[in-house]
Amino acid sequence: MAVENSGMLFYTEHRYYGLSLPHGDKSFQQPYLKQLNLHQSLADLAHFIRHQKSKSSELRDSKVILVGGSYSGSMATWMTQLYPELIAASWASSAPLQAKADFYEYMDMVSSSIKLSYGQNCSLRIEKGLKHLVKLFDDNDIKDLLDKFNACENYNPRNPLDRAAFFNGLGNYFALLVQSYSAYIPRLCETLMSLDTNDEVAFMAFLELLNSEGRRTSECQDFGYTSMLQLFSEGADQSSGTRAWFYQTCNEFGWYTTTKSSSSLSSAFAREVPLSYFVSLCQDAFGVEQTAQKLAQGVKQTNSQFGGFGFNQSERYAQVIFTHGQLDPWRALGQQTGDQAIVLAGYSHVEDLASIRVSDSVQMNLAKLRVMSFLRRHI
């Protein structure tokens, strides 16, 4: 698109991620995290655009198009509201627009996407297997399985936080596959369906396959809450942005993949991960002031300013086009209706952010042409 429109491409980095550390090595310490938020980052982007235009005569009158996927797609959308004078048009791929703490729809859609990709027998086997796992926990009969997985001795299956961490980690495996590697869903299901005719036995065998690497190493596998909390500590490796991103979710977005919501009609992922589990992580990572009330307030403020999703696009975000993968769990919080929204069958998260390829479906390539046409009209 840049070539066809004689454009120049810039890639900007969000503050507190990568090399953009405003306080150097101290940036991830508690007192210095307060400058990490959506509004500061959008202001950074506005400053960047103005700076580029001011220093280059050939860019002074150029139109600006934003392209973003996932959270950066959300940012591209929200940027058009806060700085409409700077942005001609935006393409938001797989962008969640509704902040929500108890994001139970995510795991519901993981199950639905597995069913859509392979069939109900696979998603039902996962559901039955997880229910069997819950019973092992309830009956305090989980020790043998944990020993097979080489679980660390400090793991306490009776501790609610340790238990939630176990089921959250297991759910994340299926979620990651559906979100990021949708083409592998059939392969996963074929493996799962081939292990035994009994659903529970097959699922336990599948878990052993997943944890076979842990059994071969001398180090135990830590499935507990403290292990998860360590990912968000000041001393953790910050190159992945893990602590920074979790701080933003605790204060602005939520987006926690719960499975124990009273609003969910699905029991596909065992109802073992409540919102309180994530609130505890927020508090233990960033201080006692990170309460459920503070999380709720941050989510409310985000939605109040930007309007969530389901809006009339002739009144809001008229210069934004949205694309979503049909299998993408994030689609539940995005704009999916109207002439400026495209849902792509058989695809998942940000799989449309690439040049036109012969290996893509006809619908995908037509969608890319529609996006290109939409952006061209605005420049």
- Name the H helices within 38-151: 38-55, 71-82, 105-117, 120-138, 143-148
CATH of the domain at 55: 3.40.50.1820
Angle at the Cα of 292 (from 289 to 297), degrees rounded to 5? Answer: 90
Same domain, 106 and 94: no
Contact 347, 182 (CB under 8 A): yes
Q: What is the longest distance spanned by two Cα atoms in the chain?
A: 72
Q: Do 190 and 250 fall into the same domain?
A: yes
Tally DSSP H helices, then E strands, for the chain: 14, 6
- Measured CA distances, 62 to 3, 219, 288 (Å): 15, 56, 48
Q: Classify residue 6: in a domain, yes or no.
A: no
Q: Output the CA–CA distances (angstroms, integers) from residue 234 to 231, 274, 278, in the order listed.
A: 9, 25, 18
Residue 141's alpha-carbon distances to 38, 82, 136, 165, 210, in angstroms, are 46, 55, 5, 18, 20
Q: Tell me whether residue 200 is in a domain.
A: yes
pTM of the entire predicted model: 0.94
pLDDT in tens, the chain (379 residues): 888 888 999 999 999 999 999 999 899 999 999 999 999 999 999 999 999 999 999 899 999 999 999 999 999 999 999 999 999 999 999 999 999 999 999 999 999 999 999 999 999 999 999 999 999 999 999 999 999 999 999 999 999 999 999 999 999 999 999 999 999 999 999 999 999 999 999 999 999 998 886 566 668 999 999 999 999 998 888 888 999 999 999 999 999 999 998 888 788 899 999 999 999 999 999 999 999 999 999 999 999 999 999 888 888 899 999 999 999 999 999 999 999 999 999 999 999 998 888 989 999 999 999 999 999 999 8
Which domain-ending residue is among 301, 331, 361? 301
Residues 145 and 212 grouped into a single domain: yes
Question: Tens digits of per-residue pLDDT, 159-211?
Answer: 999 999 999 999 999 999 999 999 999 999 999 999 999 999 999 999 999 88
Burial (CB count <10 Å: 0-12, 13-18, 19+), residue 165: buried
278 and 370 assigned to the same domain: no
The answer to whether position 3 is within a domain reads: no
Is residue 226, in this structure, part of any structural domain at all?
yes
Do 212 and 277 fall into the same domain?
yes
Last residue of one domain, picked from the residues 266, 301, 336: 301
- Cβ(242)–Cβ(235) below 8 Å: no
Q: What is the pLDDT of residues 306-364, one digit of tens each?
A: 999 988 888 889 999 999 999 999 999 999 999 999 999 999 999 999 888 898 999 99
Alpha carbon 147 to its chain's center: 31
Determine the Cα angle at 95 with ends 244 and 363, to 5°. Answer: 140
Same domain, 84 and 232: no
Domain enclosing residue 151, as ranges: 101-301
User: ∠ at Cα 39 (38, 44), nearest 5°?
Assistant: 100
